[in-house]
């Protein structure tokens, strides 16, 4: 299938799937389910398997994730020569697979752990288990060539995260046109807010010093400095007061900040920012998908919307299991009707 034909075919298929998905306004329906069995039927249009509740909750999440990955891989397969930006998106899961492999080897486990099936797009040679050097040979993770000690594991996992982010960033930059700019904007906001939330957590809960915080930031250049487009905004807030609303009210990302109520003590809330950003990314992903239907980058918009759906499904499952109020569960994933204030100038 030529590229133009593949673009049209993939968009039609993706659009059809979204029409039946629980994204945007339909996501609310997930939280109306009264039981896991009802949630299964709502999602998969079949009767739920007769298994204990704990297993059913696991099967719901696993099937939703498997259906998502399978669909995305089919989209890539529709192209004779898939754009690297589409394939590189799977590097997120390849990185998670490598983390699982490293953790299992670190603990001395005899068998290879269960990995996310990426089909022919998986570069890791899991059949070479337990030889980590052979597993990663010829991949972008070839530097991961020895079994980590327990104290090294977290550092190596962070290095994997950095590499994945840089690959996603570079692949979006290598594309041309408005769609690639829209995709780059999504990555930019994702990475920036991830860094900002991390900075706030480390300051609020661990009282960590600035130099140690900086070493935990993701970046897409050669270091997390003021010239890095995703690290710089986080560096800017390192010394901002955590309990004064005024500077945050004029911030570039003020629309993500928890509101100030007169007469009440206020403190910046990283969880609030994270939730609101999840909705903002979903909104931008929807715009990317529908505004550029004949561009491969639009399928990353589909990917992001389906990823938001997965977050909603996981939260709905847990809310049913733990008997959490539906409104609280929806709030946890970012679904609410709060007005969106405009961003400020303190960027």
Distances (CA, A) of 290 to 15, 83, 294: 9, 19, 9
Tens digit of each residue's pLDDT (9 = 90 or more) over 66-84: 999 999 999 999 999 999 9
- Give the DSSP letter string of 246-269: HHHHTBTTGGGSPPP-TTS-----
pLDDT-based confidence at 336, cuts 50/70/90? low
Tens digit of each residue's pLDDT (9 = 90 or more) over 190-228: 999 999 999 999 999 999 999 999 999 999 999 999 999
Domain count, the chain: 1
Query: Residue 346 pLDDT more than 60?
Result: no
Residue 270 lies in a domain: no
Residue 106 lies in a domain: yes
Query: Residue 110 pLDDT more than 50?
Result: yes
Residue 142 lies in a domain: yes
Tens digit of each residue's pLDDT (9 = 90 or more) over 138-173: 999 999 999 999 999 999 999 999 999 999 999 999
Tell me how many degrees the CA angle 102-66-288 measures, rounded to the nearest 5. 100
- Bigger pLDDT: 312 or 24? 312
- Measured between alpha carbons, how far is 213 from 204 in angstroms, rounded to an integer? 12
- Bigger pLDDT: 4 or 193? 193
Tell me how many degrees the CA angle 168-169-170 measures, rounded to the nearest 5. 95
> Inter-axis angle of helices 3-20 and 297-321, to 10 degrees?
20
Supply the mean pLDDT for the chain: 94
pLDDT-based confidence at 41, cuts 50/70/90? very high
Supply the pLDDT for residue 11: 96
- Measured between alpha carbons, how far is 195 from 185 in angstroms, rounded to an integer? 15
Residue 286 lies in a domain: no
- Measured between alpha carbons, how far is 303 from 307 in angstroms, rounded to an integer? 6
- Bigger pLDDT: 344 or 205? 205
Residue 162 lies in a domain: yes
Q: What is the pTM of this model?
A: 0.92
Over residues 314-335, mean pLDDT: 93
Residue in this structure with the two tokens 């997965």, named with its chain if needed: 310
Return the closest-CA partner of residue 77 out of 110, 19, 120, 36: 120
Supply the pLDDT for residue 3: 86
Per the CB < 8 A criterion, the answer to whether 118 and 126 are in contact is: no
Residue 265 lies in a domain: no
Supply the pLDDT for residue 2: 83
Q: What are phi and psi of 169, to 5 degrees?
A: -60, -50
Query: Residue 60 pLDDT more than 80?
Result: yes
Tens digit of each residue's pLDDT (9 = 90 or more) over 310-324: 999 999 999 999 999
Per the CB < 8 A criterion, the answer to whether 230 and 192 are in contact is: yes
Residue 141 lies in a domain: yes
Residue 27 lies in a domain: no
Domain limits for position 127? 90-174
Query: Residue 122 pLDDT more than 80?
Result: yes
Tens digit of each residue's pLDDT (9 = 90 or more) over 240-297: 999 999 999 999 999 999 999 999 999 999 999 999 999 999 999 999 999 999 899 9
Half-sphere exposure for 142 (CA within 13 Å, toward CB): 4
pLDDT-based confidence at 342, cuts 50/70/90? very low
């Amino acid at each position: 299938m030529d590229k133009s034909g593949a673009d049209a075919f993939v968009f039609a298929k993706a659009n059809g799937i979204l029409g039946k998905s629980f994204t945007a306004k339909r996501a609310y329906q997930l939280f109306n389910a009264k039981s896991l069995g009802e949630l299964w039927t709502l999602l998969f249009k079949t009767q739920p398997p007769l298994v204990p509740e704990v297993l059913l909750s696991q099967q719901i999440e696993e099937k939703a994730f498997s259906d998502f990955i399978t669909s995305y891989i089919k989209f890539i397969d529709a192209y004779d020569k898939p754009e690297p930006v589409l394939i590189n998106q799977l590097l997120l899961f390849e990185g998670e697979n490598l983390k699982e492999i490293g953790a299992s080897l670190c603990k001395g486990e005899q068998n290879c752990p269960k990995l996310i099936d990426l089909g022919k797009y998986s570069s890791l040679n899991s059949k070479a288990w337990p030889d980590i050097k052979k597993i990663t040979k010829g991949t972008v993770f070839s530097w991961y060539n020895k079994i980590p000690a327990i104290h090294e594991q977290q550092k190596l996992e962070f290095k994997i995260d950095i590499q994945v982010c840089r690959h996603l960033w570079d692949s979006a930059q290598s594309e041309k046109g408005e769609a690639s700019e829209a995709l780059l904007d999504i990555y930019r906001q994702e990475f920036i807010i991830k860094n900002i939330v991390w900075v706030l957590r480390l300051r609020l809960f661990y009282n960590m010093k600035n130099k140690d915080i900086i070493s935990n930031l993701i970046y897409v250049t050669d270091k997390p400095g003021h010239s890095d487009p995703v690290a710089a905004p986080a560096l800017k807030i390192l010394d901002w007061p955590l309990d004064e609303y005024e500077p945050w009210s004029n911030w570039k990302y003020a629309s993500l900040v928890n509101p100030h109520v007169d007469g009440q003590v206020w403190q910046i809330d990283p969880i609030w920012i994270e939730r609101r950003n999840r909705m903002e990314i979903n909104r931008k992903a929807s715009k990317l998908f529908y505004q550029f239907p004949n561009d491969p980058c639009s399928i990353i918009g589909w990917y992001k919307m389906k990823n938001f759906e997965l977050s909603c499904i996981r939260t709905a499952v847990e809310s049913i299991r733990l008997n959490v109020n539906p409104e609280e569960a929806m709030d946890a994933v970012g679904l609410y009707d709060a007005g969106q204030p405009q961003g400020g100038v303190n960027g």
